[in-house]
Chains A and B, each alone.
Chain A
Amino acid sequence: MNRFTVSSSPHIRSAESVSRIMFDVVLALIPAALAAVYFFGVRVLFIIGLSVLSAVLTEALIQKLTKKPITINDWSAVVTGILLAYNLPPTAPWWLPVIGSAIAIALVKHAFGGLGQNFMNPALAARAILLAAWPVRMTSWQIPGVDTVSTATPLAILKGTEAGAAQLPSLWDAFLGNIGGCIGETSALALLIGAAYLLYRGVINWRIPFTFIGTVALLTWIFGGDGLFTGNAIMHILTGGLILGAFFMATDYPSSPVTPLGQIIMGIGCGIITSVIRLYGGYPEGVSYSILIMNIAAPLIDRYTEPRIYGEVKNNA
């Protein structure tokens, strides 16, 4: 009898899809991988590949065991795998990405309900666990182009924890990525190319990344030097995980606020915490922890920043 489908309007849907969004993020992360290969050698591809493989297999395994539809073709596990790898040092042993991605997917993503339900950025939460478990392995830096010679990151030098011989790199090297650091975080240039693509595609918006980076720039300029307003803000922006974190990690949909004002608060909050850790904390770098802390605050931020609706009456009785 019913020849025609009867359903609620609207009757058409946009071409947007979850997998397309995730695939765009993968595309946007490729320039950073190329830069990593250039500066740290082909081995980083092995680390990234293992990380992605572990993430995808863990997701498939969990979904198979829990008898849920297997959704590894939505690219979201691939994104988590790449981001986890990008947060590892180039010297990481093979098992570090394998364990890290498994933790990210199993513990942070699926234990809380899977896609869209993670309350923290999976890759960052896993990184924090790895850092606590294997602090030395997680901080064995490498001079670009030279195998396994340990070096200090520019932020550690800025902080003064690496006394004496260590020299800050030039801003140009920091911009290109010719510095010590995690696999995917060193090349500001490569990351910004990817970020521009995500902004162009509408996958992310300006609010979190620009306020995050802007806040760090402002605070490190004011308080980062010997006197007020003498800090090396540009070096702070270009080094460490700020650009990777601001554009690719703090913008993680499920773990960041959805309201426009909430996103601005998220960015500023991340910027303040990052700056405080970098300038006054025990670690040279604070991007990861700042994002994780703000992730926890995100639901609360959303609750208090609902947009004012069209025609909202003031003093609504």
Chain B
Amino acid sequence: MVDMKLLSFRGGTHPPSKKHFTEGKAVEKAAVPPIVSIPLQQHIGAPCEAIVKPGDRVKMGQKIGQPKGFVSAPVHASVSGIVKSIQPVPSATGGQVLAVVIENDGLDTLYDSITPRDIDSLTPEELKTLILESGIVGMGGATFPTHVKLSPSPEKKIDTVILNGAECEPYLTADHRLMLEQPHEIIYGLKAIMKVLGVTKGFIGIEDNKPDAIQSMRKAAEGEGNIQIKALKTKYPQGAEKQLIEAITKRQVPSGKLPMDVGVVVNNVGTAAAIAKAIKTGIPLIERIVTVAGGAVKEPKNLLVRIGTSFKDVIEQCGGFKEEPAKVISGGPMMGLAQYTLDVPVTKGTSGILLLTHQEAEVPPVQPCIRCGKCIGVCPIHLVPLNISAFALNEDFDNAEKAHALDCIECGSCSYICPAKRPLLQSIRMAKRAIIANRKK
């Protein structure tokens, strides 16, 4: 079905896309390094417990971390080889994380029980178990365990599944390339999700700065009466869950509630493709597409990287540095996390590795707020960021809470647009943390 109207939301901003670095670069298989460090927590929720020990021989796709809790996801060996150690390694989300370090034997021997399946021969419950056992998590960066999203409580009537192909973060093109190169996998994964939830309405939302991806997905969706491809206005943060839901369904997720409260489940296109792969090949989530870009990298690329490969190994495959980067970011420049070391391993949520030059990452000196109100205009939640920030800086967290600080989705549009270069989001984050800490008391 062709729908020419561009869907969007109110607010938002237009950071330069910078996608030219890699949007034309087909995904290449990255070389597999001699050592991989696979964190036991690569998702939001409880960490896994290692079920292998140093000296064990493991095979590719073998489960090595068992989830402890419902909101969690298992992790698997991304190579075959010998477990060297189980030790803390730097985490892309900050601090250290316990990881299984495997010495790669270079053979990629597949784990014995891995068998291809197909959607039709599996019940919804079996499909959900397969998704859980394959360690599938949200691959847009948030890494929320997918099986949890697919387990709404019975009173929540889910009628719509949306795949997020907006990819509104500058620089990143991993999803773009995926939609061009593996559109049928995405459709297959979407059908699996729809089957699990018993839903007959599926949408894929894509920003209109990727007309080739829209075309590619529409072609792949031909004959699928239940699936529609929706062109979205190119505007940041179009890919934010609530904004995407509003654009496509015109429904607003109530403050403090979840998408399932308005009958919607949202997944990333990358997650759908990972589900398709897990069903069709039986191989769990052990690799992902990573965009390597930014002005400081010699040869920007889209790479299919095994989980546990260090940033350093990935960057070496892109010719290394063109110049010493000022900032290394895991993810996109608006919401990604700055890294202090290249020893961090790629995880299920690493959508990009950005090496920004001093010029790209420059943050000019902070000036007083001139009350221009631009932050209000761009906020996709319609908050008054300048007020929340002022409350936060005065440590007046009660008023920050009254000003709806907790509704902030941390998209960074306010800090981005601010002519006085004020760290608005940073101060709002501080307020959110303080409010939540107070509630727990």
Task: Show the binding face of A for B, using Cβ within 8 Å.
Answer: 2-14, 16-18, 20-21, 71, 74, 113-117, 253-254, 258-260, 306-313, 316
Contacts and interface: CB of A to CB of B under 8 A. Distances in A.
Interface in B208-267: 242, 246, 252-257
8 contacts: A7-B363, A10-B333, A10-B334, A13-B421, A21-B370, A71-B367, A115-B367, A116-B370
B140 to A, nearest CB: 15
Contacts of B324: 3
A207 B324 CA distance: 47
Given A3-B324, A8-B429, A313-B254, A21 B372 contact: yes
A13 B429 contact: no
Given A5-B326, A9-B338, A18-B367, A312 B255 contact: yes
A20 B419 CA distance: 9
Q: How large is the interface on B (under 10, 10 to 19, 20 to 34, 35 or more residues)?
A: 35 or more
B400 to A, nearest CB: 13
Nearest to A307: B382
Contact of A311 (B257, B384, B420): B257
Interface string B87-128: 000000000000000000000000000000000000000000
Contact of B384 (A16, A115, A117, A306): A306
Interface in B392-437: 403-404, 407, 410, 412, 415-421, 423, 425-426, 429
Nearest to B370: A116
Contacts of A10: 333-335, 412, 415-416, 425
A18 B420 contact: yes
B339 interface: yes
Interface in B327-362: 327-329, 333-341, 354, 356, 360-362
A10 B380 CA distance: 15
Given A8-B423, A311-B252, A311-B257, A16 B382 contact: no
Nearest to A8: B426
B236 to A, nearest CB: 10
A31 to B, nearest CB: 23
A9 B363 CA distance: 11
Contacts of B416: 10, 12-14
Contacts, number: 154
A14 B338 contact: no
Interface string B368-382: 111111101000111
A73 to B, nearest CB: 12
A253 B412 contact: no
Contacts of A116: 368-371, 420
A313 B327 CA distance: 40
A11 B329 contact: yes
Contact of B419 (A17, A259, A308): A17
B33 interface: no
Nearest to A263: B373
B320 interface: no
B382 A9 contact: no
A311 B242 contact: yes
Most A CB atoms within 10 A — which of B362, B367, B423? B367
A253 B373 contact: yes
B368 A8 contact: no
Contacts of A7: 327, 338, 363
B196 interface: no
A13 B371 contact: no
B15 interface: yes
